[in-house]
């Protein structure tokens, strides 16, 4: 597309240039002239309803709405004059006329656009004497409440829900001053409960069931971090307050809009942090005594674990120990865990809950440049092929970006899926193929016309298959996205096709850091950066001796346990008993250690359970399913839990390992194992920006995850991102997969997709009050797709 | 059925078939019906447009835009189908002429639609009829069916090789859908709220296709223009104000009714001669010249006015929709302002702040005021509110509410003052209440 030509206009005597077609309000914004607006919202359809943005344009008889007028060459605009000021003031007066002005008890008080506009444009005295229109507040769902009198009818909620979410749950009823926002189902919502409508509401008309009346906005501290649920990695701003147990997260939103998710958060990002203070949260270590898990001190638990693991290693060797890592812990923790397994426990028996074939993907794209797309790319690519998965349910941000791209940029979306997933509504072509035949489609893409036979159906003709293939062959730099339906050789075949059209790929995995777990080498056969354990590598030199043979994967460990060959199982943030149907009986004689937030099915079998910090209580980095890495910021602390990072270091210490080798902190500073709180929690981060910028070493503690990030960046190819940029809260793209030397795969690997829906999120989701209340609420109502307007 | 009236000064063009049973297609044919379409089928599209331009026909819906120009805006080439949309939502208070056309001569509207279609290259027309005009829907439905049966609509009309379809549609009772873009929304099955312009309907209209939207009377004039020639039609009225117009006389007048008079006809003569003057020997106080949305004239102003578009636009005012409402000297102008505002408050679609909130507060304030609870500052507040609506709303309905209000406060301020501080309405002393019975005063 040719860039539109730049044209020049004059606003308040200032001359400014912007591309032809730019809306006047945006052109003004770009040079710092604020034109007030309520109904205008970038990326949503234009309304011209609130009339706040009226300006004078020369040669036009009336004031014009800057939100709808496109600039034209030589346009002369007055945005600040008595006339314009008076127009703005009168709009506010009219809005306040029926407004309850219950600011002192309104959730939005202090961060309300109506308050701010009144403050700025004035309308302090009322001209009206009659009673205000009133309507009772309504609850539409567990998370959405509506207070009509506060509503200024800007229709942002209606558009965010319809245009943005493609849910179309909200509409306008009645007319004139009786106009009212209402759920299309009458008195309640049957929707995705994303809370977008609440977040986008400029006033306190829509409020959140999880947050309302809990705090005044200015009493919160805001922490920008990452959502801990799916693999998309939305940036969230947590509203924090202090509480008896140390901290309270009162709100999740995305006010700063700078993240890969822009405006977006799904229900989980917005509300499902609430598992962190569930009453069942583990608050002290547990040791099995007389068959019962009983409360213990950290000292006892660490001592016991350190001693037993050392014993087992020294007597039976590392092969007798298995380690299962997490796809929810940080990159630093994952890296540390496998380094601990390989250098301290002396085993390659390490794996994690694999929800997709990242290793197969790495093999397929090894050596290619620009082979992986970022989440941001999805919002701008000119065409997208989606094979498998249901992003609306499993990757809500990805789905949002796809929808936005189709809506705003007319991107072409091609979908191949065995189910009629909702994104088909945005698709240029939707091919519903029989379950399990996704790989046949890949073969067809690569020119195997015989594959078409197993794909066609009354809804999918040979011609439609060919048409899609032709369009994809002619596509410009498409993005190809695939779910766990494609594995191993199928991914390689898909990459082969994609390379011909300069495609970039996204491999979809579940949970917040499953890509990070893969990149960091939580594999029995792969070291960090998908380096083959039995191939050439320099980890011996870096870490000292590491086991040369491939270890056991989860299935292997399970078999070994059955055969009584597994003496110990060390589990961090994972629940193999449920996820992999790991046989509890087989673990009876093994020494099982679990680091967890809750007493999961696996933790119940443990000898020792360590209460771990949640992702809100520690710092580090997460890599999302696309390979976008972001900083997890510590939001606060709750008493008597410790980060997985710290627990691993302490266990290693008790085993007599050299912690300085494990975590290369400080230069010549003696390890102070007593110091932990500040450093493990990432408080060093704040100084780190300055220290790193000045080339100084900020690492003072073995519990500082930044220390190991140094090593990750040094040893994992593709992780050479700008640390400063990351610390500043931005996202960076990592390309470990492109740099792998993974070699041939070991045949079929055991992949168990999480199959989470919008309202579930593995173990943690089970402890979210909000998710549970929404699920509970939905049992009574059958939800259907609503037609787009 | 509305009673028909007549006056010797009338020039019967559009109303020439009124009262002659022309809703029946055969009767219509006896009265030169469908000749104009056949003539137009022989003409080049541009020639049709030029004929209409020559006629100086200006929109009868209220805005008075040149019909020929409007048609000429429609692009010749279009990927999307083009449409003709007849605005029969007639809801402007005081206006009741389109219903007579639809009742007495529905085929003239169908003919007008087809001719407009030939001119701009549309093949489909919609006749949108105000929801409350239920009985007219039956008449129009039959007229359309009869025209299909005769081969005047449908495939290969009049054997010309051209196709044309006409559909009817009925509203659900909203004044606002008379506004052309809200009309399109309503026809598309959505809430009746206006659209952002540009793009204008001639470029992007119904379902995204170029669309001509004309008033019933406008289109009913077209067949006559084609038959008699544009120049003859133009000559009925003063320069640039071609033809005749159906004026709807109502209010305090002896012979109310719809009269077809040439544009430019003096208002004074219309009231005293055509309308037979004011009943009960009372005097004229005010005239609403063209539906409630127009500036209200004092008796003195009314004496001077000629009823054509330019005579009004010269004063920065509007001729409006043809609804002439006469008010005698026993009329309370505060009550009148209130009555008008009740209408707009009820009909505001609610989309934009100034109209939605402004009409509501004006209604509330005027209600209290008329009941005697007015304060001095209210008079200025009423004007202030109206002024701050004028020119700032999303569609002209807001202006329509502000205009009569402003002119009434300006011209009859003394009547407002007479209501102040609990004084009973001077025009209805018997019926007025004591101050304790008044609505809320803060
Ligand atoms: C609030 C409002 C109501 C209107 N109602 C009508 C109506 O009932 N009938 C009509 O023909 N035009 C009505 N109009 C004018 C139309 O928008 C439009 O100008 C007209 O239909 C164009 O046809 P014309 O050029 O033949 O007059 C209304 C305009 C507004 C702003
Ligand atoms: S919560 Fe989300 S899906 Fe539900 S109404 Fe609001 S915007 Fe729509
Ligand atoms: S509820 Fe909020 S977002 Fe929705 S229209 Fe009202 S003010 Fe706007
Ligand atoms: S889309 Fe994923 S990362 Fe984003 S808020 Fe939802 S669960 Fe969290
Ligand atoms: S002025 Fe605004 S509220 Fe009034 S009818 Fe028009 S769009 Fe609706
Ligand atoms: S921002 Fe322009 S009208 Fe609302």
Residues 6+ apart with CB under 8 A from A263: A43, A160, A164, A196, A199, A200, A254, A257
| Chain A residues touching residue B388 (CB < 8 angstroms) | 86-87, 90, 93-94
Q: Average model confidence (pLDDT) for chain A?
A: 92
Angle value at C-alpha B110, between B109 and B112, nearest 5 degrees = 60
pLDDT of residue B257: 97
Residue B317 shares a structural domain with residue B342: no
Closest Cα in chain B to A47: B196
Q: What is the pLDDT of residue A675?
A: 43
Which is more confidently placed, A523 or B440? A523
What is the structure's pLDDT at A769? 95
A95/B442 touch (CB, cutoff 8 Å), yes or no: no
pLDDT score of A678: 45
**All residues at 6 or more sequence positions from B82 whose CB lies less than 8 Å from its CB, including other chains:** B74, B117, B120, B121, B122, B123, B124, B209, B210, B211, B212
- Provide CB contacts within 8 A for B215, sequence distance 6+: B59, B60, B61, B62, B86, B87, B98
| Optimal mutation site among B181, B351, B371, B373, interface A, most CBs of chain A within 10 A | B351
pLDDT at A787: 79
Using CB atoms within 10 Å of the CB of residue A726, give its burial: 0 to 12 exposed, 13 to 18 middle, 19+ buried: middle
- The CA A146 to ligand 3 mean position distance, Å, reads 9
Is any Cβ of chain B less than 8 angstroms from the Cβ of A371?
no
CA of B272 to the centre of ligand 1 (A): 29
Same domain, B280 and B164: no
Structure-token pair, residue A341: 């397994």
Domain count, chain B: 3
Number of H helices, E strands in chain B: 18, 11
Q: Judge whether B1 lies within some domain.
A: no
Last residue of a domain, one of B191, B216, B236: B236
CATH topology of domain A6-80: Ubiquitin-like (UB roll) (3.10.20)
Does the beta carbon of B176 lie inside 6 Å of ligand 5? yes
Confidence of residue A254 (pLDDT cuts 50, 70, 90): confident
Contact present, A518 and A365 (Cβ < 8 Å): no
* Least confident stretch, A348-357, A695-704, A706-715, B133-142: A695-704
Same domain, B181 and B137: yes
Average pLDDT of chain B to the nearest whole number: 95
CATH tag, A96-208 = 3.30.70.20
The per-residue pLDDT for B441 is: 34
CB A433 within 8 A of CB A460: yes
Residues B361 and B226 occupy one common structural domain: no
**Of the partner residues B346, B357, B441, the one whose CB lies closest to the CB of residue A94:** B357
| Residue boundaries of the structural domains of chain A | 6-80, 96-208, 286-355+514-733, 359-508
Yes or no: domain A359-508 corresponds to CATH 3.20.20.70: no
A94 touches chain B (CB under 8 A): yes
Put simply, the chain A residues between 175 and 234 with a CB less than 8 A from any chain B CB are 175-179
- For residue B435, name the pLDDT band (cuts at 50, 70, 90): very low
Asked if residues A353 and A597 have their Cβ atoms less than 8 Å apart, the reply is: no
Flag whether B302 is in a domain.
yes
Residues 6 or more apart from A322 whose CB is under 8 A from it?
A347, A349, A350, A351, A552, A557, A560, A561, A566, A568, A569, A570
CA A95-A115-A235 angle, to 5 degrees, is: 115
pLDDT tens sequence across A472-484: 999 999 999 999 9
State residue A582's pLDDT score: 83
Lowest mean per-residue pLDDT among A172-176, A679-683, B58-62, B71-75: A679-683
The tens digit of pLDDT for each residue in A513-531 reads 999 999 999 999 999 999 9
Q: Does A491 score more than 70 pLDDT? A: yes
* Model confidence pLDDT, tens digit, residues B140-182: 999 999 999 999 999 999 999 999 999 999 999 999 999 999 9
Residues B102 and B67 in one domain: yes
Q: Are residues B217 and B344 in the same domain?
A: no
| pLDDT confidence of residue B430 | 58
The three state secondary structure string of A180-243 is EEEECCCCCCCCCCCCHHHHHCCCCCEEECCCCCCCCHHHCEEEEEECCCCCCCCEEEEEEECC
What is the structure's pLDDT at A2? 61
Contact indicator for A41, A24 with CB cutoff of 8 Å: no
Give the model's pLDDT for residue A98: 92
What pLDDT is attached to residue B433? 41
Residue A668 pLDDT? 43
In this structure, is residue B77 part of a structural domain? Answer: yes
- Ligand 5 binding pocket includes B247 (Cβ within 6 Å): no
Residue B95 CA: nearest ligand 1 atom is 8
**Strand, helix or coil at A386?**
strand
Q: How much is the pLDDT for B439?
A: 38
Question: Does residue B56 sit in the same domain as residue B181?
Answer: yes
Q: What is the pLDDT of residues B345-354, one digit of tens each?
A: 999 999 999 9
User: Given this model, what pLDDT does residue A693 score?
Assistant: 54
**A257 pLDDT above the threshold of 50:** yes
Q: Which residues of chain A lie closer than 8 angstroms to B385, CB-CB?
A: 127
Query: Given the DSSP bridges, would you call strands B265-266 and B306-307 parallel, antiparallel or unpaired?
Result: antiparallel
Residue A688: predicted pLDDT: 52
| Dihedrals phi, psi of A401, to nearest 5 degrees | -65, -40
Cα-trace Rg, chain B: 22
Q: Give, for ligand 2, the residue of A197, A206, A209, A781 to mutate: max count of ligand atoms closer than 8 Å to Cβ.
A: A197
Measured from the alpha carbon of residue A39, the closest ligand is 6
Mean pLDDT for A541-566 is: 93
Domain boundary among B185, B210, B236: B236
Q: The domain A286-355+514-733 is classified under which CATH number: 3.30.360.10, 3.30.590.10, 2.40.40.20, 3.40.50.740?
A: 3.40.50.740
Q: Which helix (H) or strand (E) holds A464?
A: helix A462-473
Structural domain contains residue B11 = no
How much is the average pLDDT of A412-417? 98
pLDDT at residue B432 greater than cutoff 50: no
Which chain B residue has its CA at the smallest distance from A60's CA?
B391
Cβ–Cβ below 8 Å for A130 and B347? no
Starting from the CA of residue B90, give the closest ligand: 1
Count other C-beta atoms under 10 Å from residue B15's C-beta: 24
In a domain, B209, yes or no: yes
Q: How confident is the model at residue A255 (pLDDT cuts 50, 70, 90)?
A: confident
Q: Does the pLDDT at position B138 exceed 60?
A: yes
Chain B nearest CA to A42, separation (Å): 17
Nearest CA in chain A to B360: A177
With respect to residue B3, please indicate whether it lies within any of the assigned structural domains. no
Q: Please report, rounded to a whole number, the percentage of residues in chain A having pLDDT higher than 70.
A: 94
Q: pLDDT for B350-386, tens place per residue?
A: 999 999 999 999 999 999 999 888 999 999 999 999 9
What was the pLDDT predicted at A735? 96
For B244-271, what is the mean pLDDT? 98
Q: Are residues B293 and B413 in the same domain?
A: no
Ligand 5, from B89, B183, B194: best to mutate by most atoms within 8 Å of Cβ? B194
- Whether the pLDDT of residue A691 is over 70: the answer is no
Q: In B, which residues are within 8 Å of A91 by CB distance? A: 353-354, 392
pLDDT band with cut points at 50, 70 and 90 for residue A669: very low
What CATH number is attached to the domain comprising B32? Answer: 3.40.50.11540
Of A262-271, A772-781, B234-243, B429-438, which gets the smallest average pLDDT?
Answer: B429-438
Query: How large is the ipTM?
Result: 0.93
Structural domain range at position B141: 25-236
pLDDT band at A245 (very low <50, low <70, confident <90, very high): confident
Residue B287: CATH number of its domain: 3.10.20.600
Instruction: Give pLDDT, residue B241.
Output: 94
- CATH code of B402's domain: 1.20.1440.230
């Amino acid at each position: 597309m040719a860039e539109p030509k730049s044209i020049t206009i004059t606003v308040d005597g200032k001359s400014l240039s912007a591309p032809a077609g730019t809306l006047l309000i945006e052109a003004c914004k770009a040079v710092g002239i604020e034109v007030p607006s309520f109904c205008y919202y970038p990326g949503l359809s234009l309304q011209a309803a609130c009339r706040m943005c009226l300006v004078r344009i020369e040669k036009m008889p009336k004031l014009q709405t800057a939100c709808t007028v496109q600039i034209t060459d030589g346009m002369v605009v007055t945005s600040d004059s008595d006339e314009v000021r008076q127009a703005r003031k009168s709009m506010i007066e009219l809005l306040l006329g029926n407004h309850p002005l219950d600011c002192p008890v309104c959730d939005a008080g202090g961060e309300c656009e109506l308050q701010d506009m009144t403050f700025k444009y004035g309308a302090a005295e009322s001209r009206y004497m009659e009673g205000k229109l009133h309507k009772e507040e309504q609850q539409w769902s567990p998370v959405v409440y509506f207070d009509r009198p506060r509503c200024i009818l800007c229709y942002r909620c209606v558009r965010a829900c319809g245009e943005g979410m493609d849910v179309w749950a909200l509409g306008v009823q009645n007319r004139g001053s009786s106009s009212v926002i209402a759920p299309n189902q009458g008195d309640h919502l049957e929707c995705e409960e994303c809370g977008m409508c609440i977040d986008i509401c400029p006033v306190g008309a829509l409020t959140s069931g999880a947050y309302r009346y809990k705090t005044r906005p200015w009493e919160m501290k805001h922490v920008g971090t990452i959502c801990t649920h799916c693999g998309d990695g939305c940036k969230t701003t947590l509203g924090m307050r202090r509480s008896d147990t140390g901290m309270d997260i009162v709100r999740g939103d995305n006010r700063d809009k700078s993240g890969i998710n822009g405006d977006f958060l799904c229900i989980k990002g917005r509300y499902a942090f609430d598992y962190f203070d569930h009453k069942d949260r583990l608050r002290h270590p547990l040791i099995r005594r007389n068959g019962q898990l009983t409360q213990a001190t950290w000292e006892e638990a660490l001592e016991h674990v350190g001693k037993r693991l050392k014993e087992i290693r020294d007597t039976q060797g590392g092969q007798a120990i298995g380690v299962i890592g997490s796809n929810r812990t940080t990159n630093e923790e994952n890296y540390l865990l496998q380094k601990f397994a390989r250098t301290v426990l002396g085993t390659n028996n390490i794996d994690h809950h694999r929800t997709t074939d990242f290793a197969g993907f790495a093999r397929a794209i090894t050596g290619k440049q620009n082979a992986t797309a970022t989440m941001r790319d999805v919002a701008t690519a000119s065409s997208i092929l989606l094979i498998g998965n249901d992003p609306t349910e499993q990757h809500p941000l990805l789905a949002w970006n796809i929808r936005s791209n189709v809506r705003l940029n007319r991107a072409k979306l091609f979908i191949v899926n065995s189910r009629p997933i909702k994104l088909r509504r945005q698709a240029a072509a939707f091919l519903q193929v029989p379950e399990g035949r996704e790989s046949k489609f890949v073969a067809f893409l690569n020119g195997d016309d015989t594959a078409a036979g197993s794909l066609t159906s009354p809804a999918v003709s040979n011609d439609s298959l060919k048409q899609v293939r032709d369009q994809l062959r002619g596509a410009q730099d498409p993005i190809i996205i695939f779910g766990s339906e494609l594995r191993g050789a199928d991914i390689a075949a898909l990459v082969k096709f994609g390379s011909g059209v300069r495609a970039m790929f996204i491999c979809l995995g579940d949970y917040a850091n499953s890509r990070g777990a893969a990149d960091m080498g939580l594999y029995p056969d792969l070291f960090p950066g998908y380096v083959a354990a039995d191939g050439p590598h320099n980890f011996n030199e870096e870490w000292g001796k590491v086991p040369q043979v491939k270890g056991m994967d989860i299935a292997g460990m399970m078999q070994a346990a059955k055969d009584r060959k597994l003496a110990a199982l060390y589990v961090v943030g994972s629940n193999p008993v449920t996820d992999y149907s790991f046989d509890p009986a087989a673990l009876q004689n093994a020494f099982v250690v679990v680091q967890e937030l809750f007493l999961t099915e696996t933790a119940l079998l443990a000898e020792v359970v360590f209460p771990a910090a949640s992702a809100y209580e520690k710092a580090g980095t997460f890599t999302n399913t696309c390979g976008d890495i972001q900083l997890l910021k510590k939001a606060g602390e709750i008493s008597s839990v410790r980060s997985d990072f710290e627990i691993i270091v302490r266990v290693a210490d008790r085993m007599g390992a050299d912690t300085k080798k494990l975590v290369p902190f400080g230069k010549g500073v003696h390890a102070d194992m007593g110091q932990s709180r500040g450093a493990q929690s990432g408080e060093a981060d704040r100084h780190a920006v300055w220290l790193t910028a000045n080339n100084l070493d900020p690492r003072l503690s073995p519990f500082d995850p930044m220390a190991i990030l140094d090593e990750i960046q040094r040893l994992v190819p593709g992780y050479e991102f700008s640390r400063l940029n990351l610390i500043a809260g931005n996202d960076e793209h990592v390309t470990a997969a492109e740099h792998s030397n993974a070699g041939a795969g070991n045949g079929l690997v055991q992949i168990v997709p999480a199959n989470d829906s919008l309202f579930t999120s593995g173990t943690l989701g089970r402890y979210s009050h909000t998710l549970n209340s929404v699920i509970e609420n939905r049992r009574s109502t059958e939800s259907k797709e609503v037609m787009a307007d | 059925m509305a009673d028909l009236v007549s006056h010797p000064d009338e020039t019967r063009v559009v109303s020439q078939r009124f009262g002659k049973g022309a809703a029946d297609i055969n009767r219509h044919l006896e009265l030169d019906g469908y000749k104009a379409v056949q003539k137009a089928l022989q003409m080049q599209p541009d020639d049709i447009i030029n004929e209409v331009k020559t006629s100086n026909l200006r929109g009868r819906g209220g805005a008075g835009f040149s019909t020929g120009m409007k048609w000429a805006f429609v692009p010749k080439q279009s990927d999307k189908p083009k449409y003709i949309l007849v605005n029969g939502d007639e809801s402007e208070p005081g206006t009741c002429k389109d219903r007579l056309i639809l009742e007495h001569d529905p085929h003239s509207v169908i003919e007008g639609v087809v001719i407009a279609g030939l001119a701009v290259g549309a093949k489909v027309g919609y006749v949108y009829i105000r929801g409350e005009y239920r009985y007219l829907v039956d008449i129009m439905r039959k007229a359309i069916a009869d025209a299909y049966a005769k081969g005047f609509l449908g495939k290969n009309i009049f054997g010309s090789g051209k196709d044309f379809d006409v559909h009817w549609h009925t509203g659900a009772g909203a004044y606002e859908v008379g506004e052309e873009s809200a009309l399109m929304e309503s026809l598309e099955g959505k809430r009746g709220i206006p659209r952002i312009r540009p793009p204008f309907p001639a470029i992007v209209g119904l379902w995204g296709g170029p669309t001509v939207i004309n008033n019933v009377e406008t289109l009913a004039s077209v067949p006559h223009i084609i038959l008699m020639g544009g120049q003859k039609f133009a000559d009925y009225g003063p320069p640039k104000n071609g033809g005749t117009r159906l004026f709807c006389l109502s209010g305090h007048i002896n012979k109310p009714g719809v009269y077809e008079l040439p544009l430019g006809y003096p208002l004074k003569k219309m009231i005293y001669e055509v309308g037979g003057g004011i009943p009960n020997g009372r005097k004229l106080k005010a005239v609403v010249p063209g539906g409630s949305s127009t500036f209200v004239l004092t008796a003195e102003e009314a004496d001077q006015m000629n009823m054509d578009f330019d005579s009004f636009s010269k004063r920065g005012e509007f001729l409006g929709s043809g609804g002439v409402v006469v008010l005698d000297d026993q009329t309370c102008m505060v009550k009148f302002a209130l009555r008008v505002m009740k209408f707009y408050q009820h009909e505001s679609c609610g989309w934009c702040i100034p109209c939605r909130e402004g009409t509501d507060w004006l209604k509330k304030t005027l209600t209290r005021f008329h009941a005697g609870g007015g304060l001095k500052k209210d008079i200025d507040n009423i004007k202030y509110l109206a002024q701050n609506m004028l020119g700032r709303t999303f569609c002209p309905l807001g202006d329509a509410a502000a205009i009569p209000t402003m002119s009434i406060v300006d011209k009859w301020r003394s009547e407002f003052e007479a209501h102040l501080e609990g004084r009973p309405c001077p025009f209805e002393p018997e019926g007025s209440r004591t101050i304790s019975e008044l609505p809320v005063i803060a």
